[in-house]
Amino acid sequence: MRRLPAALAALLLALVAACSTVPTGSAPQAITDAEARPTGDVGIEPLGPRAGATPEEIVRGFVDAAASSVNGHPVAVEHLTPEAGVTWSDEAGITLVGPDYATVTTSSGTVVMTGDQVGTVDPRGVFTAASDTVFTHEFTLAEVDGEWRIVNPPDGLVMLVPDFERLYDDLAVYFVDPTATRVVPDPRYLISGEAQPTTLVQRLVEGPSPALAAGVGNALGGVTLTRAVTVSGSTAVVDLAGLDDLSPQQLGQLSAQLVFTLDQVEGTNSVEVRTNGEPVTIDGVPTAQRTDDWASFSPDSVPADAAGHYLDGGRLMTVDGQPAPGPAGSGAYGLTSAAVSADPRTSALTTMAGVSVAGGTASLLLGPYGGDLAPVVTASRLSVPTVAATRPEFWVVRDEGTVVRVPASGSPQPVNAPTLAGQGRTTALQLSPDGVRAAVVVTRGDDAVLLVGTVVRSDEGPVALRDLREVAPALASVVDVGWRTAGSLVVLADGGEDGVVPYVVGVDGWGLSTVPTSGLPSPPTSLAAAPGQRALVSAGGTVWELAGGTWVTLIRGQAPVPGTEPFYPA
């Protein structure tokens, strides 16, 4: 499991703590012998209010008391009046606030709390980043038996980021992409403890987060978890009802979702699926299933031996410094950017798309890798093309406003993105490895921001790009983006005095951190990333790869190779 970065993790902790149990509005679950929140302690529990505490001390004590693993947060309730203690609930959500907050007494019995709001976590553990938001709450206090107590606590928990980081884990529940060949991560933040496996399966049964829901399937959508998940040795045992109507293919998807989800639990490396206490059998799969048994569903599969590529003077090159095969490698098309797709069964590079500019017109060229390319889309401007590993189709943004997808064997088709035009000028778009999400760079005036949207496919209408949301509001002047994994991004953005620098961030905006720039000759201008591959950037007209925290030349011991616009086949 990934531990949350200190600042953001603490912020997320408050909201998740309030939401770690199953919401009352969710579908009923027949859980008979476990709670979603552990009853024991996780770390150091907060203290109750001291005698004679001032109103400000009571408010600060209430905030500190959010950092509890005990169901109901009884220490937080001790800071409230009896009436407020009856009506307040820790299940309404968590508001994550930076540690440097202020409390100011404005009048007798009134304290205003102000702090930087990092984001919120909803009752299912879904984090939403906040954009330039200040959290403010005016606490009213009254004397109860001579002691100050809070009359009007905010809904749910207000938690400091360091506390959240200490108590909660950055995990994911996995759903299935529309091709039923990949599982797709849906980040969740859950409190540590023995109940975590049960909570993860409950989150699967409840379904995907609202932003992702239209783009994925869920083989657990119609089943019921009949008892708490138990762990025997390193095997998690999951007992489900409602499996009788599932086809073998659906059982396989369900198993892949469970295995990849529960593999994150510390000490667990296999899952046994049962129904009515009896093991579920799947042909060719052991009773204790591991991720290796469902490797084809891996969210981070990449074509074997799919080497990175880049462009040099219009020629398509590979990272060994050699021209790619065919006319693209000889420079016949004068390419300015490109993308390549691979056959998921053989890993052979099959189709490529490239952008060529001549006479003020940009053309998207398409054809077999190593063969002749033909124009399929023209515009004044075209973004760098992108391709996902699950479908042989390329996406490109035409004239910074219209998204077009081009099947490897078919005609260009518009992507329905009704809210994209209102966001600004779209300068970059990259599909996730599973094809379910798109990372988009949008320019607004003098700034450029990073958005992530969900790709929605249906038999009734065109493909759509929906639910666009800003995931890293702290980043300014975003230049480029790539997918490090199915659940995390590498971003080039303004780093202040250092110019453009690389960052990594979760797909939901959690865990933003910088990547070292040691070794680069100048700020990077474009990047490439892929699961399990070293990041590539172009800087100073040359191409570099990240190795052990330092950027090095592509060919060790030799001078940097000239080039721009690196990418990995998918």
Given a cut of 90, whether residue 535 has pLDDT beyond it is: yes
Q: Say whether both 444 and 486 belong to one domain.
A: yes
Q: Say whether both 415 and 524 belong to one domain.
A: yes
Given a cut of 90, whether residue 21 has pLDDT beyond it is: no
480-515 pLDDT tens trace: 999 999 999 999 999 999 999 999 999 999 999 999
CB 394 within 8 A of CB 339: yes
For the chain, the average pLDDT equals 91
The Cβ-side half-sphere exposure at 426, using a 13 Å CA radius, reads 30
Overall average pLDDT of the 365-378 stretch: 98
Pairing of strands 157-160, 94-97: parallel
46-80 pLDDT tens trace: 999 999 999 999 999 999 999 999 999 999 999 99
Given a cut of 50, whether residue 442 has pLDDT beyond it is: yes
**pLDDT (0 to 100) of residue 26:** 31
31 belongs to a structural domain: no
First to last CA, the chain: 26
Given a cut of 70, whether residue 467 has pLDDT beyond it is: yes
**pLDDT (0 to 100) of residue 43:** 54
Residue where one domain finishes, among candidates 297, 332, 362: 297
Q: What is the CATH number of the domain that holds 544?
A: 2.120.10.30
Given a cut of 70, whether residue 383 has pLDDT beyond it is: yes
Q: Say whether both 50 and 138 belong to one domain.
A: yes
**pLDDT (0 to 100) of residue 306:** 84
Q: Say whether both 218 and 259 belong to one domain.
A: yes
Overall average pLDDT of the 466-477 stretch: 94
Given a cut of 50, whether residue 32 has pLDDT beyond it is: no
Calculate what percentage of the chain has a pLDDT beyond 90. 87
> Lowest-confidence range among 5-9, 24-28, 235-239?
24-28
164 belongs to a structural domain: yes
* Distance of alpha carbon 69 from alpha carbon 45, whole angstroms: 7
Is 0.85 surpassed by the pTM of this model?
A: yes
**pLDDT (0 to 100) of residue 39:** 39
Q: What is the CATH number of the domain that holds 142?
A: 3.10.450
84 belongs to a structural domain: yes
51 belongs to a structural domain: yes
* Distance of alpha carbon 93 from alpha carbon 316, whole angstroms: 50
Pairing of strands 224-225, 183-191: unpaired
Q: Say whether both 76 and 153 belong to one domain.
A: yes
463 belongs to a structural domain: yes
Q: Say whether both 164 and 204 belong to one domain.
A: no
Q: Where are the beta strands (DSSP E) in 359-487?
A: 361-368, 374-379, 386-387, 393-398, 402-407, 413-414, 425-431, 437-444, 447-456, 464-470, 476-485
**pLDDT (0 to 100) of residue 89:** 96
Number of domains forming the structure of the chain: 3
Residue of 171 and 5 predicted with greater confidence: 171
> Lowest-confidence range among 12-16, 345-349, 540-544?
12-16
Given a cut of 60, whether residue 29 has pLDDT beyond it is: no
Q: Say whether both 489 and 462 belong to one domain.
A: yes
Q: Say whether both 147 and 180 belong to one domain.
A: no
Q: Say whether both 85 and 155 belong to one domain.
A: yes
Overall average pLDDT of the 340-366 stretch: 95
| 2 confidence band (pLDDT: 50, 70, 90) | very low
Angle between helical axes of 248-262 and 196-206 (0-180°, round to 10): 140
Domain of residue 413, residue span:
383-567
Q: Say whether both 193 and 152 belong to one domain.
A: no
212 CA to centre of own chain: 10
Q: Say whether both 154 and 192 belong to one domain.
A: no
DSSP states along 155-204: SSEEEEHHHHHHHEEEEEEEEE-TTSS-EEEEEEEEE-STTHHHHHHHHH
Tally Cβ neighbours within 10 Å of residue 210: 13
**pLDDT (0 to 100) of residue 4:** 43
537 belongs to a structural domain: yes
Residue of 16 and 508 predicted with greater confidence: 508
Sign of the Cα torsion 194, 198, 204, 207 reads negative
Which run of H or of E encompasses 103? strand 102-107
Given a cut of 60, whether residue 37 has pLDDT beyond it is: no
Residue where one domain finishes, among candidates 128, 148, 168: 168
| 36 confidence band (pLDDT: 50, 70, 90) | very low
246-291 pLDDT tens trace: 999 999 999 999 999 999 999 999 999 999 999 999 999 999 999 9
**pLDDT (0 to 100) of residue 119:** 96
Sign of the Cα torsion 550, 555, 558, 560 reads negative
62 belongs to a structural domain: yes
Given a cut of 90, whether residue 30 has pLDDT beyond it is: no
Q: Say whether both 181 and 162 belong to one domain.
A: no
74-104 pLDDT tens trace: 999 999 999 999 999 999 999 999 999 999 9
Residue where one domain finishes, among candidates 128, 147, 168: 168
358 belongs to a structural domain: no
